[in-house]
Chain A
C-alpha cells in the first residue's frame, strides 16, 4: 500500500536556526498538507498546498514558515528561525482530491528546539 514518508524522524536544533522538514507524498496525490502536534495536545492544521501554491493556512503558519514542492516528489516545510515553542511533531499528509477524499498521514518528524 502506498504511504507518505517523512525525513528525518527526529530533528534537534538550536533556537534561531533554520530547519527543513521533508515529505514524500503519495505519488498520484494532488493535495498536500502540514499539521503539527505539540506534545499532549491535539493535531493542528498548518497549511494546505495545491497546484504549486498555498490553498489555505492557519494563524500558526506565520512568516517564519514556508512550504515548497521543489520537484515532482518532495514537499518541504521550512521554519526560518526556530523558537522553543516550535518543538512538536510535524505531520505531512496528502490526498487525491479536494473535500471528501481520504488524507494519508506520514509518520511525522519530531522537532526539538533547544
Chain B
C-alpha cells in the first residue's frame, strides 16, 4: 500500500522573536537528550544536550528545558534568525544502550523576515 510520510508540526516566527520548540519523549528510562537541527539536504547537526539529572542547560542563544515528570523537552532559541530555519529533532538515549539515538518526529521552524 501507499506509505504516507509524517506531517511535521510547523512553527513560524518573525525574525528577532524567540522560538520555543517542544518535544515529548517516550521512555522514562532515557537519561540523555539532544536537540538536532537539520537543514534541507543535510545531516542532523548537534545543537545542545542535557542529562536527566538537570532541568535546564544554556548554550549560545539556545536553552533546553527538561521536565522529567511529564517527559517533555523544549528548545528555546533567542532572537531567531533566518539561518535558524530548519527541522528540529529531539533525540533520547536510554541508559545501557550502545548510544542508540531515538529521534522524535521533528518540527519545521520557518523564520519570517
Does A associate with B in a complex?
A: yes
Asked whether A105 and B43 contact (CB < 8 A) given A41-B6, A100-B51, the answer is yes
Asked whether A56 and B98 contact (CB < 8 A) given A42-B105, A102-B46, A106-B43, the answer is yes
Asked whether A108 and B97 contact (CB < 8 A) given A45-B102, A99-B32, the answer is no
- Contact check, B98 vs A42: say whether CB atoms are below 8 A apart: no
Q: Complex formed: what's the CA distance from A44 to B91 in Å?
A: 11
Asked whether A42 and B106 contact (CB < 8 A) given A48-B98, A99-B32, the answer is yes
B101 partner, pick from A4, A35, A38, A55, beta carbons under 8 A: A35
Count, chain A residues at interface, CB 8 A = 32
Closest to B106 in A: A42
Asked whether A42 and B104 contact (CB < 8 A) given A48-B98, A91-B43, A107-B42, the answer is yes
Closest to A9 in B: B41
Prevailing SS type, chain B contact patch: loop
Counting chain B CB atoms within 10 Å of each CB, the highest count among A33, A42, A55, A85 belongs to A42
| CB neighbours of B99 from chain A (8 A) | 31, 33, 48, 95, 98-99, 101, 103
Asked whether A41 and B102 contact (CB < 8 A) given A102-B49, A106-B43, the answer is no
**A interface residues (Cβ-Cβ under 8 A, vs B):** 4, 31, 33, 35, 38-45, 48, 50, 55-56, 58, 85, 91, 93, 95, 98-108
**B interface residues (Cβ-Cβ under 8 A, vs A):** 3, 5-6, 8, 32, 34, 36, 38, 41-46, 49, 51, 89, 91, 93, 95, 97-106
Q: Would you list 26 pairs from A and B whose C-beta atoms are within 8 A, ordered by A residue?
A: A4-B43, A31-B98, A31-B99, A33-B99, A38-B5, A39-B5, A40-B6, A40-B8, A42-B104, A43-B101, A43-B103, A45-B103, A48-B100, A85-B3, A95-B99, A98-B98, A99-B32, A99-B93, A99-B97, A102-B46, A102-B49, A103-B101, A105-B43, A106-B43, A107-B42, A107-B43
